[in-house]
Amino acid sequence: MNSLLSSFSSSNTSVFDSCPSSSNFTQFVHDAQSFLLLLAHIEEISWSLIRLSSSSDGSILTLHHTYIDLGDRLHDLYIDIPQRWPNERPRCRTNLPVEFNIEIWCSKTSRLIEIINNFHSVVDSLQSFWAQLTELERDAIVLDEKPISYASTTRRLKINDNVHVQIQTRLFFDI
């Protein structure tokens, strides 16, 4: 706990900048042991790498992590932590063209940092896919509205003034 407090005093982040409103946060926390475990998990990730928010009814706490890939693209991971955490598995939301789920969650041994590390691995494995789409966008006239979501696997291309085609790419590798 001392290292948690020292991390706040040594950084530019305050407790109030990182945490949701105290009334929603205390409503989320149902016991001290779960609260301390959550703090330990967040400290392991690093407070500077996440932002916290909670649902209006306080039933879900969300950790938001942004990862910048090798192509300078921003990828967001939202980890929704239910009130019964760690006994109930967290849920993830991302902007990836593949599903990103937590396959196995063990309340005693699973760590939130493992989710973030897996997210980084999946994003890193998609680099060539996004590089090819970027090359296509550079070499062709793309009619899709900008910015195009990184989850999108389709592009509308202009052939001439009267004709356009829509292509859809498929990911055939196992992530």
Average pLDDT over residues 20-33: 58
Q: Report which of 101, 97, 102, 119 is spatially closest to residue 50, judged by C-alpha positions.
A: 119
Higher pLDDT, 95 or 170: 95
Q: Is 172's pLDDT higher than 70?
A: no
User: Residue 51 pLDDT > 90, yes or no?
Assistant: yes
Mean per-residue pLDDT, 143-148:
87
Q: What is the pLDDT of residues 75-89, one digit of tens each?
A: 999 999 998 889 999
Give the mean model confidence (pLDDT) for residues 165-175: 75
Looking at residue 44, its pLDDT comes to: 95
Which pLDDT band, with edges at 50, 70 and 90, does 113 fall under? very high
pLDDT at 25: 53
**First and final CA of the chain: distance in angstroms?**
37
CB 116, CB 65: distance < 8 Å: yes
Q: Which residues contact 54 (CB under 8 A, 6 or more apart)?
A: 20, 21, 24, 25, 27, 28, 60, 61, 62
Q: What pLDDT score was predicted for residue 169? A: 84
Q: What is the mean pLDDT of residues 123-131?
A: 93
**Domains of the chain, earliest start first:** 2-125 (3.10.110.10), 127-168 (no CATH)
Cβ distance 65 to 79 under 8 Å?
yes
Q: Residues 124-148: what's their mean pLDDT?
A: 90
Among 15-19, 31-35, 105-109, 136-140, which stretch is predicted with the lowest mean pLDDT?
15-19
pLDDT of residue 17: 45
Predicted local confidence at residue 30, as pLDDT:
65
What share of the chain has pLDDT > 70, as a percent? 81
Nearest to 97 by CA among 72, 117, 71, 75: 75
Q: Give the pLDDT score at 21.
A: 47
Residue partners of 89: CB distance under 8 A and separation at least 6: 102, 105
Q: How far apart are CA 34 and CA 26, in angstroms?
A: 12
